[in-house]
């Protein structure tokens, strides 16, 4: 990695940060029903997603992974439409983008990634999956089952844990036995590594190595990116009720954008901000221009073959329109 690489990654992080801030503003203005801020986690998300080979890999995000979508070049209006509550999984092409619709179920994307990785291994596609989850989600049974299954079958998958210090209002030390998610990997017979989640180059290198190993048949890897959620858990959360201002100030000195910017010129930083402002303006305008989707789509894209129960619900809904 050289200065040009860092410049490109920093540019992506700035887009993610400014769009994140705009999403919060739009929620406060009533344009978005809810949002989970990602401020402080840009290096973890951008650095890991930038390591993917989009011709064969696939990513499975949670609800706080805007930076991954930015780094993967996803249509951001279509992606942000997921928060706009207008359609199942957003309006972007998930298959072409190699980014699954984000999953609002805690630890939900982890099992999906393992299933995809099993298919990739059976079909010998040469691709690997990466799945995003937090330290809080690591306490869910789905994560244990996914890691155990992936370890047994040596599947090409990277379990990318963003340890941002808090499971909503519960600190990591009170809900992760042993204090380390990466250390759990040994129990499944797979690789486990901790990385500075606020250093975008370190994240990129660690993820690239894990993906290479996965594609070469080396099996899964758990990466625990140590970072910090600088904002609230969601736009309905007040972090001031459970953490101190001193803690927030201490972590602000390790802001991933500032860490990267210190290695770049003032001109590079200014250009990145100018680019981000243009992207944010375009995304905001695109989101506000979206028209309401037909309500019947709620029934059209749930199952490949509609179930009797779903058809009955649709019938009742249609009758209610005539009442």
Q: 3-state DSSP call for residue 44?
A: helix
- Residue spans of the domains in the chain: they are 3-292, 295-323
What is the number of alpha carbons within 13 Å of residue 25 lying toward its C-beta?
Answer: 10
15 close to 70: Cβ distance less than 8 angstroms: yes
| Cβ neighbours for 274, distance < 8 A, ≥ 6 positions apart | none
Determine if the pTM surpasses 0.85. yes
Residues of the chain with pLDDT under 70: 85-88
* pLDDT value of position 88: 66
74 close to 80: Cβ distance less than 8 angstroms: no
What is the number of alpha carbons within 13 Å of residue 247 lying toward its C-beta?
Answer: 15
**Secondary structure (DSSP) of 290-317:** PPPPPTTHHHHTS-SS--HHHHHHHHHH
**CA 14 centroid distance within chain:** 16
What is the number of alpha carbons within 13 Å of residue 214 lying toward its C-beta?
Answer: 36
Radius of gyration of the CA atoms of the chain, in A: 20
Active site residues: 229, 233, 242
52 close to 105: Cβ distance less than 8 angstroms: no
* pLDDT value of position 84: 78
Q: Which CATH number fits domain 3-292: 3.30.465.10, 3.90.650.10, 3.40.50.970, 3.40.50.920?
A: 3.40.50.970
* pLDDT value of position 301: 77
Return d(Cα 98, Cα 8) in angstroms, integer. Answer: 20
* pLDDT value of position 297: 83
142 close to 108: Cβ distance less than 8 angstroms: yes
* pLDDT value of position 155: 98
* pLDDT value of position 87: 63
Q: Which long-range contacts (CB under 8 A, 24 or more apart) does 296-299 make?
A: 297/87, 297/88
Start-to-end CA span in the chain (Å) = 65
Geometric angle at alpha carbon 263, from 259 and 267, rounded to 5° = 110
């Amino acid at each position: 990695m050289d200065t040009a690489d860092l410049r490109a990654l920093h540019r992506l992080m700035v887009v993610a940060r400014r769009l994140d801030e705009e999403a919060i503003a739009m929620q406060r203005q009533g344009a978005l029903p809810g949002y989970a801020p990602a401020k402080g986690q840009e290096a973890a998300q951008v650095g890991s997603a930038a390591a993917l080979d989009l011709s064969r890999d696939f990513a499975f995000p949670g609800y706080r992974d805007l930076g991954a979508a930015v780094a993967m070049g996803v249509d951001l209006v279509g992606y942000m439409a997921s928060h706009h509550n207008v359609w199942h999984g957003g309006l972007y092409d998930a298959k072409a983008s190699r980014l699954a619709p984000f999953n609002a179920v805690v630890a939900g994307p982890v099992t999906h990634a393992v299933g995809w990785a099993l298919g990739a291994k059976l079909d010998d596609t040469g691709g690997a999956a990466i799945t995003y989850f937090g330290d809080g989600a690591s306490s869910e049974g789905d994560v244990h089952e996914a890691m155990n299954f992936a370890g047994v079958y040596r599947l090409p998958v990277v379990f990318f844990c963003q340890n941002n210090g808090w499971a909503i209002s519960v600190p990591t030390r009170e809900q992760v036995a042993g204090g380390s998610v990466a250390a759990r990997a040994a129990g499944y017979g797979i690789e486990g590594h901790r990385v500075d989640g606020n250093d975008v180059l370190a994240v990129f290198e660690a993820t690239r190595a894990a993906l290479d190993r996965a594609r070469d048949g080396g099996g899964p890897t758990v990466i625990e990116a140590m970072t910090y959620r600088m904002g609230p858990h969601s736009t309905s959360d007040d972090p001031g009720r459970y953490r101190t201002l001193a803690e927030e100030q201490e972590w602000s000195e390790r802001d991933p954008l500032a860490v990267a910017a210190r290695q770049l010129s003032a001109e590079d930083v200014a250009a990145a901000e100018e680019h981000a402002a243009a992207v944010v303006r375009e995304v905001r305008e695109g989101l506000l221009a979206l028209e309401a989707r037909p309500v019947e789509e709620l029934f059209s894209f749930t199952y490949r073959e509609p179930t009797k129960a779903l058809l009955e619900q649709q019938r009742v809904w249609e009758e209610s329109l005539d009442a």
